[in-house]
A = this chain, B = another copy of it.
Amino acid sequence: MNDQVSKQQPIDPKHLALQKTLDIICGKWRLYIIYQLGTEARRYGELRRMIPAISEKVLIQELKALVSLGVVEKKSYNEVPPRVDYSLTEKGLQVLPTLLKLTAIGELFLEP
């Protein structure tokens, strides 16, 4: 979408913001992972168990994408054995209420 826009017209800041939102929401499983995290910190293994349908490769890839988007943070603890967990960033927590409302949209449209 961005490509087309940048070729054909000046970039509209609203459109850029919208594209950023879509990057966060529309990646495969991203919103689902955000919902599973909610307000908790979760270890990788916990997330695996919470979303059994997702493959290991995709979970790692989507967590990386969410970290690089600034939605999720990964914390490593200096423990033996080493512990790593994932949680929503401050910004991620800020937008969580809006993101949680998105399920209700689907529910409404699933009604006959």
Chain A residues engaging chain B, CB cutoff 8 angstroms: 1, 4-5, 8-9, 14-22, 24-26, 28-29, 31-32, 35, 52-55, 69-71, 91, 94-95, 98-99, 101-110
Contact = CB atoms under 8 A, between A and B. Distances in A.
Contacts of A69: 109
| Main SS class of interface, A | helix
A44 to B, nearest CB: 19
12 contacts: A9-B52, A16-B106, A16-B110, A17-B104, A17-B107, A20-B110, A21-B102, A22-B25, A70-B109, A91-B108, A95-B105, A101-B101
A102 B8 CA distance: 24
> Which 3 residue pairs are nearest across A and B when measured between Cβ atoms?
A17-B106, A20-B106, A21-B106
